[in-house]
Amino acid sequence: MTGKIFRSRNWPIIVALMLVVFLAAPLVAADGDGSGGGDDPLALESSSIPDGTAGVDISTDQITLTFSKNVVNMTVKENNAACFTITADGAAVPFTVEMADDQLYRELRRDIVLRFGAELKPAATYTVTVSSDLMSKSGVYLGKEVTVKFTTAGNIMTAADDKPAVDSGGKAAGEEDHSQITPDLEQEAEVITDQEASDTEESVISTERETAGETSEDENASEPAGENNIPIILGIAAVIIVAAYVLFRKKA
């Protein structure tokens, strides 16, 4: 076969084309589709509500989980949609699973959104559980159960129940009047709640910014380093083809 190639009148062009294929193949292969192939395990990289967060605003309507590989492709979408549960103090919470089309929104191929079906309960502990059966497009399983827990903002203490009975003068029976030095517990609770809500909003905004920065860095890192070299290599190959053809014509 090799002898036939070199006896052919067009052997310089054939050799040049083979060189183009040889140089461009690694670059094309590096421009992956985000399937997350390789030996790296599938893992939960981040959550829009970090594990252990306290004072989450009850108006929060979703939580976004970002994984290390493509988990929304149509080949694994149905399997992965059934890999989540959410409970509030042990009771099941209704929710829906949302996954983007990785062919249209490549940057969302690692994100799964869980949208709560009802407003969050105040002062409740929520647990989001991801099954070990979650799978990436490349066929890699999560392999172990993962949980994200957070607590919503709200009053846990009921100050009114702890107050002693008072007479018409505003004093508890057998007690002296300390109204001038005793703060109103209900007002204190309201101030604490407002402060917690404010701190929570700042925490959520900061977390979203950090997550957006991490996602941007991950996307930039996922782009193949040699992608911009393809036009240069093809240009060089074209010059080699033309030069080889001209040299062959002169010798002929």
Give the tens place of pLDDT for each residue, 105-114: 999 999 999 9
Q: To the nearest whole number, what is the mean pLDDT of the chain? A: 74
Cβ atoms within 10 Å, residue 149: 16
Residue 237 confidence (pLDDT): 72
Based on the number of CB atoms within 10 Å of its own CB, is 21 exposed (0-12), middle (13-18) or buried (19 or more)? exposed
Residue 9 confidence (pLDDT): 59
More confident of the two residues 39 and 12: 39
Give the span between the Cα atoms of 49 and 60, in whole angstroms: 10
Cα four-point dihedral sign 123, 124, 125, 128: negative
Residue 203 confidence (pLDDT): 55
Q: What is the tens place of the pLDDT at every residue in 153-209?
A: 987 554 444 555 555 455 555 555 554 444 454 555 454 455 555 565 555 445 555
Q: For the ranges 4-8, 129-133, 222-226, 227-231, which has the lowest average pLDDT? A: 222-226
Is the pLDDT at 32 greater than 90, yes or no? no
Is the pLDDT at 34 greater than 60, yes or no? no
Residue 40 confidence (pLDDT): 86
Residue 239 confidence (pLDDT): 74
Give the span between the Cα atoms of 161 and 163, in whole angstroms: 6
More confident of the two residues 30 and 14: 14
Query: Where do the DSSP E strands lie in 5-130?
Result: 44-47, 53-56, 62-67, 84-88, 91-92, 95-98, 111-116, 125-130
Residue 66 confidence (pLDDT): 98
Residue 119 confidence (pLDDT): 96
- The pLDDT of 18-24, averaged and rounded, is 53
Buried b vs exposed e over 213-238: b needs ≥16 C-beta within 10 Å? eebeeeeeeeeeebeeeeeeeeeebe
More confident of the two residues 144 and 1: 144
The percent of residues in the chain predicted with pLDDT above 90, rounded, is 45
- In which element (H, E) is residue 163 found? none
More confident of the two residues 121 and 39: 121
Residue 63 confidence (pLDDT): 98
Q: What is the tens place of the pLDDT at every residue in 37-84?
A: 566 899 999 999 999 999 999 999 999 999 999 999 999 999 999 999
More confident of the two residues 150 and 245: 150
Closest to 125 in 3D by CA, of 146, 156, 94: 156
Amino acid (1-letter code) at residue 78:
E
Residue 31 confidence (pLDDT): 40
Is the pLDDT at 2 greater than 60, yes or no? no
Does domain 44-163 fall under CATH 2.60.40.1220? My reply is: yes
- In which element (H, E) is residue 243 found? helix 230-251
Query: How far is the first Cα of the chain from the last one, in angstroms, to the nearest whole number?
Result: 23
